[in-house]
Chains A and B, each alone.
Chain A
Amino acid sequence: MIEPEEGVPTVLNLSEIAEREKEEEEKVVEIVREFGAENLIYCMQCGSCAAVCPLARVGFEWYNKKLIKALLLGLKEELLDDPTPWACVACNRCTEVCPRLVSPFEVMFAVRRMMVEEFAIPTLAIEGLRALYEYGHAVYMTGREARKKVGLPEKPPSTDSDEQALKDLKTILKNTKLAELGLIPMND
C-alpha cells in the first residue's frame, strides 16, 4: 500500500486489510454492529442516503454511503482521524430515505463510539462531556446576565440549581461506559 502520512491511502490493498482483520480477530463490521449499526450489512450502496446528506453536500469525505462501504471492506485505523462522523448532524434524512432500512445515522454514530474507544475523540466532545458531568448541561454558557435581562432567575430549575439532581446524574454517568472509558475525571 502506498502509505500516506495519515488517513486513507490512495490505493487500498484489500487483501492486506482482510489479512489485518484476520490477525486482529475481530471484524470491523461486527464492531460497529455491536455499537448500534445493526443493519449495515443490508446496505446495497444505492446512494440515496448520500443524495440527501448535508455532509456529502458540503464536501466531507466519509459521509454515510462511503463510510458504510469502507467499514464493509474492513477499514478502521485509516478512518479514526477523519472528522466526518463527528460532523453528522443526526438529522436522519438518510434513515428516512434508505430503502434497506440501514439507518446510516446509526452507522455514523456507531463509528463515533468505535472512535471513542480508541480515544480518537475531538476536544470539543470531551469538553461537552465534562460540562455534562459537572453541571448537567453540555452547552454551559455563562448566560446568567442574559437570563436576568429577560426577567428569569439566574439559574434554571435544572441540575444547575439542584444539588441532589446533579448528584443523581453523576451517579448515572458513573455507571455507564463513560466511566469505564475514563475520558473525563469523575472522582468527586
Chain B
Amino acid sequence: MSNDEKPRIGVYICHCGENIAGAVDVKAVAEFAKTLPDVVVVRDYLFMCSDPGQELIKQDIRDGLINRVVVAACTPRTHEPIFRKACEDAGLNKYFFEMANIRDQCSWAHWHEKEKATEKAKAIVAAAVAKARLLEPLEDRYIELKKDVLVIGGGIAGIFASLDLANAGFKVHLVEKSPSIGGNMAKLDKTFPTNDCSACILTPLMVEVANHPNINLLTYSEVESIEGSVGNFKVKVRKKQTYVDWDKCTGCGACLDVCPPKARVPDEFNEGMSLRGAIYIPFPQAVPKKAVVDMDACIKCGGRDFSGKEPKKSKSGKPILAPCERVCPTGAADRTPYRDPNGEIVELEVGAIIVATGYKVMDKRVFKEFSPDHPNVITAMQMERLISATGPSEGKLVKPSDIPKLLEAKKKGEKVEIEKPHTITFISCVGSRDNRYHTYCSRVCCMYMLKQAMILKEKYPDLDIYIFFIDVRTPGKDFDEYYMRCRQLGIKIIKGRAGGIQPIPGDKLLVKGYDAEICKPVEVVTDIAVLATAIEPDASLKELARTLGINVGAEGFLKERHTKLYPVDTMTEGIFIAGCAQGPKDIPDSVAQAKAAAASAMSLLEPGKMTVEPLISEVNKEKCTGCGVCVPLCPYGAISLVKCEDGKLRSEINPALCKGCGVCTAACPSKAITLHGFTYEQVLAQIRTIARWPEIQA
C-alpha cells in the first residue's frame, strides 16, 4: 500500500448510542459523505469504538476496499489512538487515519438545533475527508528512557510513591523543600476513619525512606529548573544552605534551646502556638533528624556569621563562640567555615517525575467576622497540634491563650493552675464553598472536625462540643459510621454555617449561628472556636507548575489529564501528580493516588524505550535557503544551520528534540519545513473546505 496509490477513503459514522444520533441525522451525513471525492465506503454504526465497530474498519481494509480511514465520532483526544491501532492491526499505516469530531464539538454542543447540527457534522466530515486525501504514511519513532524517577514533595503521597518505585527497583530522588519529610500528616494527632495515631503509622515509613538503598533523599531542597522531556528530563535541584554540617550533626538536640529570646520565632510545626529557636529540628521524629539554621531569625550571636572570620576574646584570646556552637558536641554547628548562602546545585537525569507537593491550610486572618485575632479562635490544624502529645501543651487540652503561661511554668519547672475549657465549637467550610475565597469543598474538614470532636469528647466527657455544618459530607468507606458515632457521643451537630464570633466578657467567645433544622438563630458561649479553614494549594505551586510545564486548574491545584481516565497523569507526558497537590483529599486517597502515580511511572519506564508519534517537523533541504529565521524560534533548540555538501548553510531539525509544535513550520518564508500530520496542504485543505462550506453545501 504505497503512498502513490490513489486514496480510497472509508468514512465511518458513529451514533455513540444516542449521543450523536440524538442530534445529528447520521443517515443524512452518511448520504452526504458518499458524495465526497475519493470516498468509496461509508458506514454508520451504533458504537464505532466497540469491537464490532472496529471490526467494520478492519474488514474493509483487509478486503482492500480502502486505504484511508475517517471516523466521524467523538474527540481524537481520547479515541484517535484506538482507531489508529485498529488500522495498524488491519495492516494499514496508522497515520492514514483522520477523525471528525461530531460528538463533543457538534451533537453535544448543538443538542437542540438538530438540523444545524446535522449540517455542521457534514462540514466536519467534509473537512476531515479533505485532509485524509492528503495524508502520508509515517513511521513511529522510539526514544530511550532513563529509569530514575524524581519525586517532588515528601508528604505521605511522596513517601508512598517513592517507596513503591524504590521497592520495584527504580532509583528515586525524593526532593523535599523543608528540612524533614512527613508533610502535613506529621502534624496530625490521630487520623480518621480509624483514629490510629498519625505518627505511629507515618514514622516507620519515613525511616524506611531514609534507609532505602534506592532512594536518594534530598531534603531542604527545591527544584530549580527542568529541561528535556519524557524519558530524559534533566533536573537541577538546589540544596539550600542548612548552615549546619549534616555529616556531623547527630540530631542530638543540644542546640535547640540555647538561642536567645530575640532569635525565637513562631514554630511552624506547632502552627505558631509556640516558639522555636533560629537553629532547629522541625519536630522530634524528623527524618532526617538534622538541625538547620533559619538565617532570617538568627541574630548571629557574637558576630558569628559564617564569614570565615574567627573573632577572639580580646583578653584571653579564646575564640568567641555562639551558644549553638558552644553546646554542639560534634562540631556540626561550627560557624567558622564559610558557607555559601545559595547552597549547592545537584543535577539529576530522570525518566519520569511525580509531583506530590501537597497543600497548606488557609490562614484564619482574613475571616474578620470570626474574630480571627483572638487567640482562642484557632484553625483546625492548630487544634491538631493542641491535642497532639507532641504539641505545645503536650496533648493537654488548654485554651490557646493559656499556652504561654503553661510554657513559662514548664521552663521554670513550676506547676500552674489552668482553667479547663468547657466548650469547644467547630465551624465548617471556612474559606471553602465560598465565592470570596475558594468555591470548592475541601473534602476532609467535615471528617476531621468529627474526628477532633470525637477525640476530645472521648478524652473529656464533660466537654460540650458543637459543630456547625452547612451539611455533613462523609462519602467514604466507614465515614458515615464515624459520623453516627459522634452523634451518639452527644456531640451537638448543628446544620447551619455560623455567621460570626464575638469576644464576650470572661475570656469567652460568642458564636452566632443558625440551626436550619429548628429554623432559629442559635448562640453558643464557647472557650475555643475552631475554624475548619480551607485546604489550598501552596502559593509556590503555580511557579513549580510553570517550571515543570504542567497546568494548574482554576482553583490553583495541579490539573490531571482527565478527571476519570487519567487522574494521575498531566498533559505533559512523563509527569505525574499525586496527593493534595492535585486537589483536597484525605490520607487514604492521597496514598491511593501515590501508588497509582508510581505504577504509572513504572509502566512508562519499565520497557526502557517508548514510541513517540512521528508528528514532528522536517526540513526540505531543496527548498531551504538557509535564512536562519527558524533557528532561534524553536523552543527546544532543535534546529541548527549545518553546512551541506554544496557548501551552503541549510537548516536541520534534530528529530530527538523536536516536539512538533510547528512554530518553525509556520515561520519559514520558503515553506521548506513540513510538520508531519499537520502539513501546510493538509491544514489548508481543511480550512478551505470549511471556509467554502456554504457553497459546497449548496
Q: Which residues of A contact B495 (CB under 8 A)?
A: 47
Chain A interface extent, by class: 20 to 34
**Contact between A50 and B434 (Cβ–Cβ < 8 Å)?**
no
Complex contacts, B500 vs chain A, CB 8 Å: 51-52, 97
Hey, which chain B residues are within 8 Å of A66, CB to CB? 519
Residue A47 contacts which of B369, B435, B436, B496 (CB distance < 8 angstroms)? B496
CB-CB nearest in chain A for B431: A99
Closest to A52 in B: B499
- State how many angstroms separate the Cβ of A88 from the closest Cβ of chain B: 15
Tell me which of B369, B436, B496, B519 contacts A46 (CB under 8 A). Answer: B496
Partner of A50, one of B433, B470, B521: B521
- B residues within 8 A CB of A113? none
With a CB–CB cut-off of 8 A, which chain A residues contact B514?
47-48, 50-51, 56, 65
Q: Does B513 contact A (CB under 8 A)?
A: yes
State whether A99 touches B521 (Cβ < 8 A).
no
User: Could you tell me which residues of chain B, from 229 to 270, have a CB within 8 Å of some CB in chain A?
Assistant: none
**In the bound complex, how far is the Cα of B522 from the Cα of A48, in angstroms?**
11
Whether A171 is near chain B, meaning CB under 8 Å from some CB there, is: no
B301 at the interface (CB under 8 A from A): no
**A172, CB-defined interface residue at 8 Å:** no
Question: Separation in Å of the B503 CB from the closest CB of chain A?
Answer: 16
Q: What is the minimal beta-carbon distance from B374 to any residue of chain A, in angstroms?
A: 17
Q: How far is the CB of A103 from chain B (nearest CB, A)?
A: 11
Quote the shortest CB–CB distance from B427 to chain A (angstroms).
10
Q: How far is the CA of A53 from the CA of B515 in the complex (A)?
A: 13
B516 interface residue, CB < 8 Å from A?
A: yes
In the complex with contacts A50-B499, A51-B497, A96-B369, A44-B435 CB distance below 8 A:
no
**Would B513 and A51 count as touching, CB distance under 8 A?**
yes
Which residue, A44, A47, A53, A93, has most C-beta atoms of chain B within 10 A? A47
B512 at the interface (CB under 8 A from A): yes
| 1/0 contact string of A47-83 vs chain B (CB within 8 Å) | 1111111001100000001100000000000000000
Cβ of B429 under 8 Å from chain A: yes
Contact code string B512-542 (vs A, CB < 8 Å = 1, else 0): 1111100111100000000000000000000
Docked Cα-Cα span, A66 to B433, in Å, equals 20
Interface range, B side: 20 to 34
Per-residue CB contact flags for chain A residues 94-115 toward chain B (1 = under 8 Å, else 0) read 0011011100000000000000
B499 near A48: Cβ-Cβ < 8 Å? yes
State whether B499 touches A101 (Cβ < 8 A): no
Q: Within 8 Å of chain A (Cβ to Cβ): is B498?
A: yes
User: CA of A97 to CA of B437 in the docked complex: distance in angstroms?
Assistant: 12
Q: Can you name the residue of chain A whose Cβ is closest to the Cβ of B512?
A: A51
Contacts of A99 in B (CB 8 A): 429, 433-436, 497
Count, A-B residue pairs, CB within 8 A: 67
Residues of A within 8 A of B433 (CB): 44, 46, 99-100
| Cα distance A97–B435 in the bound complex, in angstroms | 11
State whether A50 and B435 are in contact (beta carbons under 8 Å apart), knowing that A44-B470, A66-B519 are contacts in the complex.
Answer: no
Given the contacts A44-B470, A52-B500, A97 and B516 also touching, CB distance less than 8 Å = no
Contact, CB under 8 Å: A46 / B435: no
Complex contacts, B516 vs chain A, CB 8 Å: 45, 47, 65
The answer to whether B513 and A47 touch across the interface, beta carbons within 8 angstroms, is yes
Interface majority SS (helix, strand, loop, mixed), chain A = helix
Contact B496 A100 (CB under 8 A): no
Cβ of A52: which chain B residues have Cβ within 8 Å of it?
Answer: 369, 499-500, 512
Q: Is the CB of B519 within 8 A of A53?
A: no
Q: Quick one: CB contact mask for B413-446 with A, threshold 8 Å, 1 for yes?
A: 0000000000000000100011110000000000
Bound form: Cα–Cα A51–B521 in Å: 5
A97: B residues at CB distance < 8 A: 369, 499-500
Contact B499 A42 (CB under 8 A): no
Judge whether B521 and A48 touch: CB under 8 Å: no
B555 to chain A: closest CB distance in Å? 15
User: Is the CB–CB distance between A50 and B436 below 8 Å?
Assistant: no
Query: What are the residues of chain A within 8 A of B435 when measuring CB–CB?
Result: 42, 99-101
- A56–B520 Cα gap in the complex (Å)? 7
Could you say which residues of chain B place their CB within 8 Å of the CB of A46?
429, 433, 470, 496-497
Q: Is the CB of B521 within 8 A of A49?
A: no
- Among A42, A51, A57, point to the contact of B496 (Cβ < 8 A): A51
Cα distance A50–B515 when bound, in Å?
9
Q: Could you say which residues of chain A place their CB within 8 Å of the CB of B515? A: 47
Asked if B498 and A48 sit within 8 Å, CB to CB, the answer is yes
- List chain A residues, Cβ under 8 A from B499: 47-52, 93, 97
Which residues of chain A are within 8 angstroms of B436 by Cβ–Cβ distance?
Answer: 99, 101
B625 CB → nearest A CB, Å? 59
Report the bound CA distance from A141 to B513 in whole Å. Answer: 40
Hey, which chain A residues are within 8 Å of B512, CB to CB? Answer: 51-52
Among candidates A47, A56, A96, residue contacting B497 with C-beta atoms closer than 8 Å: A47
Residues on B with beta carbons closer than 8 Å to the beta carbon of A45: 470, 516
Give the Cβ gap from A165 to chain B, nearest Cβ, in Å: 41
Which residues of the partner chain A approach B521 to less than 8 Å between Cβ atoms?
50-51, 53, 56-57
Which residues of chain A are near B369, meaning CB under 8 Å?
52, 96-97
Which residues of the partner chain B approach A96 to less than 8 Å between Cβ atoms? 369
Bound-state CA distance A93–B516 (Å) is 19
In the complex, chain A residues 113-141 whose Cβ is within 8 Å of any chain B Cβ: none
Q: Could you name 20 residue pairs across A and B whose Cβ atoms are closer than 8 Å?
A: A44-B433, A46-B496, A46-B497, A47-B496, A47-B515, A48-B496, A48-B498, A48-B514, A51-B496, A51-B499, A51-B500, A51-B512, A51-B513, A52-B500, A56-B520, A57-B521, A65-B514, A96-B369, A97-B369, A100-B435
- B-side interface residues toward A, CB under 8 Å? 369, 429, 433-436, 470, 495-500, 512-516, 519-522
Q: Which residues of A does B touch, CB under 8 Å?
A: 42, 44-53, 56-57, 65-66, 93, 96-97, 99-101
Q: What are the nearest 6 A-B pairs in CB distance?
A: A51-B499, A47-B496, A47-B514, A99-B434, A52-B499, A46-B497
